[in-house]
Amino acid sequence: MKKVAVILSGSGVFDGSEIHEAVLALYAIEQAGASWHCFAPNVDQHHVINHITGEPMNETRNVLIEASRIARGQIQDVAELSARDFDALLLPGGFGAAKNLSDFAIKGASCQIHPEVKRACQEFARAQKPAAYLCIAPVLIPQIYGKGAKGTIGHEKEVASAFRAMGGDHIDCPVDEFVLDQERCLLSTPAYMLAGSISEAASGINKLVQQLVKMA
């Protein structure tokens, strides 16, 4: 059975992993006949957001512990992730990808990726093992794959501009499709960058995961 490593960034769209995207991806991986195992950085979140009001909360939460809610405890520190042990990689979106896996939400095109996340992702890139990035997570692609790497965050002009400024080749993509960079075994789909419902998010994620597992 093919094995897919999934890197989560917390739990909740505004300060962690987008839960719908994460669960849809895990379900799609199983439906495609593969297995998954989750990882997350063992660090404090950038901040904690009240998902009712959208306001920051005066507390601290750990990314790995919060992500374990989605993984039902089946999760490890991303420092333990080795591309040797898996056939493919997937990163759901959510603002955690831009706040906890990187500081893109604060620094834009000048952002840095969490060192262990970058190391793990680059291991898959160097091994030419397929990797998939959903929603806002593709902003990590240029720093992982280098100049000319293709990816999408949908039609969001400001983020697409930052993607290009980092050296990536941004491609507009509808919610129900994905972008494939064949040379780099790299896939991306807009998901909730465009989706207005769970079903719309699933339409692109399902196609992407099917291709990811096929390539693995």
pLDDT at position 112 is: 97
Provide the domain limits for residue 176: 3-215
Determine the Cα–Cα distance for residues 192 and 4; give it in Å rounded to an integer. Answer: 22
Which residues are known to be catalytic? 135
Give the domain CATH number at 169.
Answer: 3.40.50.880
pLDDT at position 156 is: 87
Please state whether beta strands 150-151 and 169-170 pair in parallel, antiparallel, or not at all (unpaired): parallel
The position carrying tokens 């400024």 is 165
Q: Angle at Cα 86 formed by Cα 35 and Cα 31, nearest 5°?
A: 20
Residue-wise pLDDT tens for the chain (216 aa)? Answer: 999 999 999 999 999 999 999 999 999 999 999 999 999 999 999 999 999 999 999 999 999 999 999 999 999 999 999 999 999 999 999 999 999 999 999 999 999 999 999 999 999 999 999 999 999 999 999 999 999 999 999 998 999 999 999 999 999 999 999 999 999 999 999 999 999 999 999 999 999 999 999 999
Total structural domains within the chain: 1
101-to-31, 63, 114, 157, 186 alpha-carbon distances in Å: 27, 9, 5, 22, 18
